[in-house]
Each structure stands twice: as structure tokens, then as C-alpha cells.
């Protein structure tokens, strides 16, 4: 793949993942979070199945399933949180996982402690505090849940680095998504019987968009593009995800953005940028998810 095509591909991925925040927020007016997640990841798994069925190895299935647990908890807390907070806020708070990832690596992967990473994490939390200073009690519930989302996503990335090794990333991802569907079902078994909710055209569109574009296609494009360009450039482009979340929420769905949100979001984005730059100087390659 040509480098310019890789750049455009990653911008597309960031835009798709940024768009999922306001789209899901609107969807939750018609469907509950767990039912949405169940249908989304069942569809994503079915789309991926023909491409992995002959490539499955026990190791990828086992460790992919384990890493799917924090991923599922991340999606559950994020989607429930979106019911209470704005998509702009959700996108920016979720992005904190870029900073939390190297911190968790200190304890799980036993990497050398870096005080700068801790300072950047503290700066990001200051930014988050500014963003939420005018939040109502209901919005605060959503914001707190989304903080847990960032932690779970960071944990998922660190565990992926620990367990994937020489495995097949596509098969590994398939089992992660399959586990998200399974945990969603176990969390709320009655969701499987809510087929009538699919009669709503917007719900059907949202499930298809998030499953096919937001899960399968985005991950496939990202995997190909990252092989062609540096991790530094990839991470810098993918950091556009929360930016797209704010812009699309405001432009297309009229969700309000306050001065405190702008100031706090700027601190978070600068902290994320500096954390990614520092990681890539050491040869790391942070990942981004939507």
C-alpha cells in the first residue's frame, strides 16, 4: 500500500471511530446499551468468520478470548456511559487510555518506570477535571464510567502486547470481538429476544455501521497501514479520533461544547501527543480503538 494511501486510510479509521460516538449516542434513544453491543459484535464476528475459519490456532483463540474480557468491559462501560454523557466528552475521556497504557505496562510488562509518563497522565486527568467541572450529576455518572473505559482499553492493549507475540492479529481480534458478544449476552440474556428493535431503521444502520466499518473494516485498514508507515505517524494520525468525535458531535448532531470542554480537551490532546511521541522515540507503537 502506498504511504499516501496509508495516511488517508488511517484518517478514515480515525473519522469512523470518531463518528461512532455521536451515532451510538443517538442510537441509545431507541435501544439499550447491552442489546446494541450484542447485535453489533455478533454481526462483526459473523462478518469476520469466513476469513478466520481456516486460520484458527488454539493459542490465538485462548489468549484472544482472555484479552476480550477487558475489551468487553471497556465497550460496556463506554456505551452505558454514553447514555448519560455527551459524545464529545466520551471521545476525549476515552482517549486517556493512550497515556494509561505505558503506565500499566510498568506493572504488567515490567518496563522501566518513566516519571514523565506519570506527569502526562496527571495532566490528562487535570484536563478531564476541567471538562467535567460543569457536568450535572447524571453526566458525571457517564464520565466516571468512561474513565473506567479508558482503564479497560489500556489493559486490553497491554495484555495484547503480552500475549499476541507471533500470533495472527486478525484471528486474535476475532476472538476478542466474539467474547464481547458473549459477555454482552451473559450480562443481559433477554437482549437476544429483542429483534423488534431492529425494525427501527436508524438502529439497524448504527449496528451495521459500527460492526462493519467501526469494527471489521477499520481494524483491517489499520493493520495494513501500520505496516507501511512508522508507529509515530500512525499514532499521530489516529489521535484525530477524539477530535473527530468532538467535531462531528457538534456539526452533525448539535451536541454542545463548552469553554471548559475545549480547554480540558486541549490539555488531554497535548498530553496524548507528548505521550505518543515519547513512546515512539523508544520504539513503541500505541494502538487506538473506537
H helical segments located in the chain: 3-27, 33-52, 58-82, 87-94, 97-108, 115-132, 137-163, 169-187, 201-208, 218-228, 231-238, 240-253, 259-281
What pTM was estimated for this model as a whole? 0.84
Who contacts 159 (Cβ-Cβ below 8 Å, separation ≥6)?
Answer: 66, 67, 70, 108
Q: How confident is the model at residue 235 (pLDDT cuts 50, 70, 90)?
A: low
Q: Which of 220, 268, 207 is CA-nearest to residue 241?
A: 268
Range scoring the smallest mean pLDDT among 67-76, 77-86, 139-148, 279-288: 279-288
Mean pLDDT to the nearest integer, 235-240: 67
pLDDT band at 231 (very low <50, low <70, confident <90, very high): very low
How far apart are alpha carbons 62 and 42 in whole angstroms? 19
Share of the chain above pLDDT 90, in %: 43
The answer for residues whose C-beta is within 8 angstroms of residue 172's C-beta and 6 or more apart is 60, 63, 64, 67, 160, 164
Using the predicted structure, report yes or no on whether residue 188 has a pLDDT greater than 90: yes
Q: How far apart are CA 242 and CA 261, in angstroms?
A: 12
- At residue 286, does pLDDT exceed 90? no
Most confident of 44-48, 109-113, 268-272: 44-48
Amino acid at each position: 500500500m502506498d504511504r499516501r494511501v496509508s495516511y488517508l486510510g488511517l484518517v478514515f479509521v480515525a473519522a469512523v471511530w470518531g463518528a461512532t460516538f455521536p451515532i451510538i449516542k443517538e442510537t441509545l434513544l431507541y435501544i439499550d446499551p447491552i442489546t446494541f453491543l450484542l447485535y453489533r459484535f455478533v454481526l462483526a464476528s459473523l462478518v469476520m468468520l469466513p476469513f478466520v475459519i481456516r486460520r484458527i490456532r488454539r493459542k490465538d483463540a485462548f489468549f484472544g478470548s482472555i484479552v476480550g474480557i477487558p475489551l468487553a468491559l471497556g465497550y460496556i462501560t463506554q456505551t452505558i456511559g454514553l447514555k448519560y454523557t455527551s459524545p464529545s466528552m466520551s471521545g476525549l475521556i476515552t482517549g486517556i487510555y493512550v497515556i494509561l497504557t505505558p503506565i500499566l505496562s510498568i506493572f504488567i510488562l515490567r518496563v522501566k518506570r518513566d516519571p514523565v509518563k506519570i506527569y502526562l497522565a496527571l495532566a490528562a486527568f487535570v484536563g478531564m477535571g476541567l471538562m467535567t467541572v460543569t457536568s450535572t450529576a447524571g453526566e458525571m455518572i457517564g464520565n466516571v464510567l468512561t474513565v473506567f473505559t479508558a482503564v479497560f482499553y489500556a489493559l486490553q492493549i497491554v495484555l495484547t502486547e503480552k500475549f499476541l507475540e507471533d500470533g495472527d492479529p486478525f484471528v486474535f481480534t476475532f476472538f476478542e470481538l466474539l467474547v464481547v458478544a458473549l459477555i454482552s449476552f451473559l450480562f443481559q440474556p433477554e437482549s437476544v429476544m429483542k429483534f423488534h428493535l431492529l425494525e427501527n431503521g436508524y438502529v439497524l444502520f448504527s449496528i451495521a455501521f459500527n460492526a462493519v466499518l467501526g469494527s471489521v473494516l477499520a481494524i483491517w485498514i489499520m493493520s495494513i497501514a501500520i505496516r507501511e508507515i512508522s508507529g509515530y505517524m500512525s499514532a499521530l494520525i489516529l489521535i484525530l479520533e477524539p477530535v473527530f468525535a468532538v467535531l462531528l458531535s457538534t456539526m452533525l448532531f448539535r451536541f454542545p461544547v463548552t469553554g471548559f470542554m475545549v480547554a480540558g480537551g486541549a490539555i488531554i490532546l497535548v498530553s496524548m501527543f507528548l505521550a505518543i511521541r515519547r513512546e515512539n522515540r523508544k520504539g513503541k507503537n500505541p494502538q487506538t480503538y473506537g
